[in-house]
Amino acid sequence: MPRVTAHRKAHFNAAHRLFNPAWSDAKNKEVFGKCSNPNYHGHNYELIVSVTGEVDPVTGFVMDLSILRELIKSEIEEAFDHKNLNIEVEEFKTLNPTVENISVVIYNKLRAKIRASLDISITLYETPRNYVTYSG
């Protein structure tokens, strides 16, 4: 049976501050630049969730994308959209919300809900030019 990758795009808007609480404001500014602004800053994140697996001979799907859409909505968009990640999202109260760490958190949330026989990959755009991909 052929292996195919299906993709679902989504987006969310969120604020964050990159900083290490063990460092001084000067050190945070040196390492994270304007992203360490104590008053936070925001991004319009673009998310692509990719699911790879064998095509089901009965449905023709790798995964029903309407199910993936609902998982992304309930697990990611509702949790992150229009939130201050540092303050309002539990995972980032002790984890610096870099685009790398956000992609890992998204992966873990979705991995727990998508059957293990499917491979998943997260591509997260923080800006049109800055993005990461995480596959576990």
Residues serving a catalytic function are: 35, 82, 126
| Contacts with 132 (C-beta within 8 Å, 6 or more apart), sequence order | 99, 100, 103, 123, 124, 126
Helix (H) or strand (E) holding 109: helix 99-111
Q: Which pair of tokens denotes residue 93?
A: 């109260």
CA 103 to chain centre: 4
Q: What is the total residue count of the chain?
A: 136
Q: Rounded to a whole number, what is the distance in angstroms from the first to the last CA of the chain?
A: 24
